[in-house]
Amino acid sequence: MKHASTRAVFANWNERRGHRPAPSRADIDPVAIRHALGDTFMLSADFADQLRFRLAGTRVCSLFCREIKGEMIAELWAENSRKVIDEVLAIVTAETEGVVAGLTGHAADGANTELEMLLLPLARSGPGRTGLIGALAPTAPPYWIGEKPIVEIALNTVRHLGAQSGANAAPRLAPAGDTVELRHGFTVYTGGRADTPIERGA
């Protein structure tokens, strides 16, 4: 994990879950991640609803030059990344494991910036209710952040943080490609830099 906020949120999530697959939203300690709160967000969905931003830190919102609370996370992505991010979100919610993703944020005038995104599951708080906590931050903030918005995000790489991962564990890396499918407990990523699929065991 490259960004300090990503590492702080993951460390708090990992500590607060203990021996459970995931902590609850109430378990997350805002004081412990106070320096990362500006880069932190929470997502939730009820039943078939799309995952929406329920909370978004000030620095997350500044990336898009607007308040994104209530917006669907799927709407932020470039068209060719949406199927992949849908599968990534499904992995996080269904398999209770986290991911770290390398992204590129694109402004309307062609400017871009590299971003790091963390997605971690939260324990379900009711029937059909799904929740996630995450962080989103540029690895090297350009001068124009907050002045012109990122209009779409492209997914570059995904690193899976398995259920037994510690804060210092090396995540597994797979290139983000054009297609992703779940098959017999494996997630298969095709495209990206590799010519052959990369499979991740269940």
Domain span including residue 50: 4-168
Q: What pLDDT is stored for residue 126 in this prediction?
A: 64
Per the structure, the count of domains in the chain is 1
Average pLDDT, stretch 174-192?
40
Any domain includes 187: no
Decide which of 177 and 81 is more confident: 81
Q: Is residue 191 part of a domain?
A: no
At 163 the pLDDT is 53
Model confidence pLDDT, tens digit, residues 135-180: 999 999 999 999 999 999 999 999 988 654 444 333 343 444 443 4
Give the tens place of pLDDT for each residue, 111-134: 999 999 999 999 876 665 778 999
Q: Is residue 127 part of a domain?
A: yes
Decide if 56 is inside a domain: yes
* 177 located within any domain: no
Segment 9-14 long-range contacts (CB within 8 Å, at least 24 positions apart): 9/33, 9/36, 9/39, 9/40, 9/118, 9/120, 9/133, 9/134, 9/135, 10/98, 10/100, 10/118, 10/120, 10/161, 10/167, 11/167, 13/98, 13/120, 13/133, 14/165, 14/166, 14/167
Confidence of residue 107 (pLDDT cuts 50, 70, 90): very high
**Percent of the chain with pLDDT strictly greater than 90:** 52
Asked whether residue 183 is domain-assigned, the answer is: no
pLDDT for 94-105, tens place per residue?
Answer: 777 899 999 999
153: CATH: 3.30.450.20
| The pLDDT value given to residue 91 | 84
> Residue 159 falls within a domain, yes or no?
yes
pLDDT in tens, 11-53: 999 998 888 888 888 898 899 999 999 999 999 887 567 899 9
